[in-house]
Amino acid sequence: MNKDLKIIDIVQEYIAGEDYYPVLSPQAIKLQNQITKSDPDFTAIKKLILMDQTLTSEILKIANSPFYRGLDEVETIKDAVVRLGQNELINIIMRVIHRQNFSSSNPMVKELQAQLWDHSVYCAIGTLWTCRYLKMQELLPKAFIAGLLHDMGKLCLLSALEKMLTLDIPGFNLTSDLMDKILAGLHAQQGYELLTRWHLPVHYCHIARDHHADTYDFSDILLVTVRLANMVCDKMEQNDPDQDLAFIIGSKEADILGMPETGVALLEIALEDAKGKQ
């Protein structure tokens, strides 16, 4: 345990002195700044998308995936807005923008990035589903984004750890178990700092910081919803047949939201269904 703590100290010292934060392209920054406004300008958004052929292609690819697909194929961004609606288009744009940062060449880091990305997407879907289920209409434009970005601190840490693995640091022997401990223990604050650097609205930064906190703002319903969806995703990922939904049904989050037992069960089913369509 002392050895593990020493390595965690090495990581903390490294990240305090290095600029390892994932970066977004100038085009992605412009898009993110526009779509996270309280009143996004969709004419400007469409123009920004069309300036990037790769982004346009990826958005159309996702819009035509089984998760979103309708009877006819979407061929233009205009068609995508008509088919999906403005909120869903924003959700897809955020997926495309941030997926580009999950591209490590290190096998161990790459596997963890893949797991993190899947968790982030399903938490986003779960947060959006819960807001719809509980008819919290005012939160729908923010729900998917909040769920998608809540664990971005782990992306920061993985970027730092990948760099550290290429250096000859005395005593830095990183196992997969220790990496899990580092990610679990440090990611919330790192997520807050990353989203702050990306100049995202403060409520997304607070969700990244507080989604595991023992003490948090109970009146922040979007934060509470992300915490609930995150718990369901964590339970599903553990894949333990002996673990049921009782601890989530009886959670403070479910109580605050007024989420019934059937609602939690339906959320798990919706996420299982989403996994089959991704």
Claim to verify: residue 6 and residue 32 sit in the same structural domain: no
The kind and range of the H/E element at 93 are helix 86-99
DSSP calls for 119-147:
HHHHHHHHHHHHHHHTT-GGGHHHHHHHH
The kind and range of the H/E element at 248 are helix 246-249
Claim to verify: residue 131 and residue 226 sit in the same structural domain: yes
Structural domain includes residue 236: yes
Q: In the chain, pLDDT over 90 holds for what percent of residues?
A: 55
Claim to verify: residue 155 and residue 244 sit in the same structural domain: yes
Structural domain includes residue 114: no
Identify which has the larger pLDDT, 94 or 12.
94
Segment 241-265, tens digit of pLDDT: 778 899 999 999 999 999 999 999 9
207 CB-near residues (< 8 Å, 6+ apart): 146, 149, 150, 220, 222, 223, 226
Q: In the chain, pLDDT over 70 holds for what percent of residues?
A: 96
Quick one: CA dihedral 183, 178, 185, 230, positive or negative? positive
- Structural domain harbouring 88: 23-100
What's the pLDDT score for residue 1?
45
Structural domain includes residue 106: no
251 CB-near residues (< 8 Å, 6+ apart): 228, 231
Claim to verify: residue 256 and residue 195 sit in the same structural domain: yes
Structural domain includes residue 51: yes
Structural domain includes residue 108: no
What's the pLDDT score for residue 65?
82
* Counted domains in the chain: 2
What's the pLDDT score for residue 208?
98
Claim to verify: residue 87 and residue 144 sit in the same structural domain: no
Claim to verify: residue 12 and residue 50 sit in the same structural domain: no
Structural domain includes residue 167: yes
What's the pLDDT score for residue 35?
92
Claim to verify: residue 158 and residue 55 sit in the same structural domain: no
Claim to verify: residue 143 and residue 165 sit in the same structural domain: yes
Q: Is residue 272's pLDDT more than 90?
A: yes
Claim to verify: residue 180 and residue 61 sit in the same structural domain: no
Q: What is the pTM of this model?
A: 0.89
Segment 92-147, tens digit of pLDDT: 899 989 998 898 888 888 999 999 999 999 999 999 999 999 999 999 999 999 99
Claim to verify: residue 216 and residue 272 sit in the same structural domain: yes
From 58-72, 141-155, 216-230, the region with the lowest mean pLDDT: 58-72
- Per-residue tokens: 214: 């023992």
Claim to verify: residue 224 and residue 145 sit in the same structural domain: yes
Structural domain includes residue 109: no
Claim to verify: residue 136 and residue 250 sit in the same structural domain: yes
Where residue 26 falls among pLDDT bands split at 50, 70, 90? Answer: confident
Structural domain includes residue 221: yes
To the nearest 10 degrees (0 to 180), the angle between helices 261-277 and 107-133 is 130
Length of the chain counted residue by residue: 278
Domain end, chosen from 100, 130, 162, is at 100
Q: Is residue 11's pLDDT more than 70?
A: yes
Closest CA to 228 of 203, 205, 208, 211: 211
What's the pLDDT score for residue 27?
85
